[in-house]
Chain A
Amino acid sequence: MFLRLQLCGKPVFLLCYLVCICSTLAGQTSSAGRFSKDENDKFTWYEVVHEPLPSDTLFSRMQGFLAAEGIKVLQSGQEMGGEGLFRISRSALVSAHPAARISFSFHMEWKEGKYRYWLTNFTSTPFKRNRYGQFELQQGISTPLEEEPGSLNRKNWEADLKSVEGAARRFSVRMRLAMARSAPAQASQPRVVKGSDW
């Protein structure tokens, strides 16, 4: 087994990575994030996470995470809200290109030892290829994700829904990792090779 692992560098790396993630997330429990329509008929990604940390720690870690994600937030008491962006692509075999920019609202509430958040108000702005062969946003078009197209374009819409769910799931993984990790270690100084020190 050991020999097999040594021979396959990539699987070993992936295994280690998974073990790392599992160990990091072992301390927290969460209701699995769900992507479905809420009571207002809006697509929503909703998740409750139990994280055994004081509420001010949860708050400061969340602030750091949202800043890293480029989400500007407004805080009010034990609640936080902001706006964020995903970009989704369309691919088939070897071709792939940006399909749409998805903007969403972010809401979060936290208490001692747990927090919950949801992403909602997803709206889509499509990309279009310009004269230089590059994809650019079609500014001025903003379609709520809930707006179902006719049967001719349903397949694309369903693919976009899956892409948004995937993007929300990846957001969730990044967030839970950021919330669970300990304070970032000080950046280590680059090591200098000393010929006399051996």
Chain B
Amino acid sequence: MKIRNLLLSLFVCAATSVSAQDSTAVNPLVISGSVDTYFKYDFSKRSNIQTSFATDHNSVSLGMVNLTMKKSVGKASFVGDLSFGPRGQGQSILNAAEAYSETSANSFHIQNLYVSYAFTDKFSMTAGFMGTFVGYEVISPVGNFNYSTSYLFSSGPFQNAGIKANYSFSDRVGIMVGLFNDWNKYQDFNGVSDFGAQLMVSPVDGWTAYLNVITGYPSGTEFDLTTSYQISNKFKLGLNAADYTMPDKAGGFSGAALYPQYAFTDAFALGLRGEYFKAKSGTAIYNVAAGSAVTALTLSANIKAGPLTLIPELRFDNGEQEIFYRGRNSAAFDTKQASQFSLAAVYSF
């Protein structure tokens, strides 16, 4: 009831301000997007390492076609972000039945669908279906340096539908608070049950840090630190650390990933992702047995030619327990190590 009243108040507040606006500055419709495809070869000769995308072994496979539209009129704006293909459907967003499925055809194809209203330069509100504010990596291949994804990314939320308020104290400090559906839900049948918040600090130019929390039932509680520092024009260092606990302490995960990246030229950069990921006792997560951990090292290059980026990548995963297949004929997990090579092509416009 309280949440209903709050939402009603926010809506009335928004409607009043909209009616009072006198600014009618119209910006043109901004259309951008990307296309990505990849080849992956797993050295066990079968799909093995748990990564959200780049899943298919020894195959030239599809990522997605991504189309994003944005328009602002005065203080109001919208973003519509559509995606077609495995990366943008069954691997990252829900179908209408609210299940991840690569075989079900009725995906809504939507990565972001939200409207925003900037009440002032410092305060804005946003409502709709949004890419999650939690974590370092994102669904769009344009936003990541590495092509395969971390365990932390795959285990966290992908989207949060809800309503959120952003307030910037200055260019250096800002907060966000919001009410959200359960993780990755177009429609929440148990009510808007998650609370999320974010504190952003930017101590110096090029360094931003986000402290995130999202909590609710039955989603559980995740604390997340995401920070990146563009130390020089050439060198960038990123860090992601997270801790997640399922309701009733039925399991969860904790882990950290470090992302050093160095641009040797405007066309060639190398980046490493070193990740430690541990499944808490109670539930296995992405084949990582409850109570055990996995370490993953991913070395990627970004070769840029205008809008096209080629990403050759080598990845080595090492589990505390046997969580990978040794070969094509393995009937069960029989090795602690796995490795793969992939080559992705990402075109952004």
- Whether the Cβ atoms of A140 and B205 lie closer than 8 Å is yes
**Chain B, 120-149, contact with A by CB distance < 8 Å: what is the 0/1 string?**
000000000011110000111011000000
User: Do the beta carbons of B79 and A132 come within 8 Å of each other?
Assistant: yes
B76-112: contact bitstring with A at CB < 8 Å (1 yes, 0 no)? 0001010000000000000000000000000000011
Give Cα A120 to B236, complex, Å.
28
B304 x A133 contact (CB < 8 A):
no
A132 and B206 form a contact (CB under 8 A): no
Q: Could you give, for residues 308-333 of chain B, a 1 whenever the CB lies within 8 Å of some chain A CB and a 0 otherwise?
A: 00000000000000000000000000
How many chain A residues have a CB neighbour from B under 8 Å? 26
Q: Given A131-B131, A131-B138, verify A95-B33 contact (CB < 8 Å).
A: yes
A140 touches B306 (CB 8 A): no
Report B276-334 residues with CB < 8 Å from chain A CB.
303-307
How many whole Å from A193's CB to the nearest CB in chain B?
22
Assuming the A-B contacts A92-B349, A139-B202, A140-B229, are A152 and B68 also in contact, with contact meaning beta carbons closer than 8 angstroms in the complex? no
- Alpha-carbon distance A60/B231, docked complex (angstroms): 42
Cβ-based interface call for B265 (8 A): yes
29 A–B contact pairs at CB < 8 A? A95-B32, A95-B33, A96-B31, A97-B30, A97-B31, A98-B30, A129-B68, A129-B142, A130-B138, A131-B131, A131-B132, A133-B111, A135-B30, A139-B205, A139-B206, A140-B207, A140-B232, A140-B236, A141-B230, A142-B233, A149-B266, A150-B266, A152-B266, A152-B267, A152-B303, A152-B304, A152-B305, A153-B266, A153-B304
State A133–B232 Cα separation when bound (angstroms): 26
B263 CB to closest chain A CB (Å) equals 9
Contacts of A141 in B (CB 8 A): 206, 230, 233
Does the CB pair A129–B32 fall under 8 Å? yes
Does A36 make an interface contact (CB < 8 A)?
no
Cβ–Cβ contact B206 & A95, under 8 A = no
Counting CB contacts under 8 A, is A156 at the interface?
A: yes
Identity of the chain A residue whose Cβ is nearest the Cβ of B80 in the assembled complex:
A133
Closest to B68 in A: A133
Closest chain-A Cβ to B224's Cβ sits at a distance in Å of: 13
Report if A143 contacts B (CB, 8 A). Answer: yes
Residues of chain A lying within 8 A (CB to CB) of residue B132 = 131
Instruction: Please give me the residue from chain A that is nearest to B137 by CB atom.
Output: A131
Chain B hits for A98, CB < 8 A: 30
- Judged by a CB distance under 8 angstroms, whether A138 is at the interface is yes
Q: Find chain B residues with CB under 8 A from A114 CB.
A: none
Q: Are A129 and B304 in contact (CB under 8 A)?
A: no
| B140:A131 contact, CB within 8 angstroms | yes
- A132 touching B131 by the CB < 8 A rule? yes
List chain B residues, Cβ under 8 A from A138: 230
